Structure 1
Amino acid sequence: MEMESAGKSRKLDIQELEEIRNDAYENCRVYKEKKKAFHDKLITRKQFSTGQKVLLYDSTLKIFAVEIQSEETRKCFKVNGQQLKPFYENFQMHTVEEIALEEPRI
């Protein structure tokens, strides 16, 4: 009788561990979904049109591809869309005001 009750107890323990593991997987999935939703809200979407000039940040990451064409070489290539920034041709830099600092008094 002892072996039978020990066997039933062991089966219950295994089922309980299986339930705990499944709960952990479910909690992990929910956490990842919430984290992704929060991250996606913070991403700014960029709108580019055909023929628009852009600045390209050189990196090896490839998240999603955008096909662009070089004006000089006419070569087409795919780049990560997060690396593109709008290029403003008539952008005016503001003049920087310089202020002379005095030596500290002791």
Structure 2
Amino acid sequence: MNAYDSASIYKARSKQYHDALIDKREFKEGDRVLLYNSRLKLFPGKLKSRWSGPFEVVRVSPHGAIEIWGRDAGNFKVNGHQLNHYFVDDSHGTFSIMDLKDPP
């Protein structure tokens, strides 16, 4: 009985730790998103990106379905777990150039 209690306590703490690391993704109308293509098989396009888009969020349902709009695809609904935010003006991609001189 002690082993069962210890295992359940360990499992609960592990779940709490894991859930704390997960970021909640909340989408609003007008956000730009990328759609995950889960139907892309392993070998046909091995080096091809599984993310397509960007798409624009048209409507957000309270139960997790999100309606998105794409220029080529039109409007369609997807599960919110298949989407990721698309940041256009993100500062992570910027860099600066430094001239390094030889030491004397």
Return the TM-score normalized by structure 1: 0.48
Structure with the larger strand share: 2
When Rg is computed on C-alpha atoms for both structures, the one with the higher figure is 1
Structure with the larger helix share: 1
| Structure with more contact order per residue of length (Cα contacts < 8 Å, sep ≥ 6) | 2
Return the TM-score normalized by structure 2: 0.49
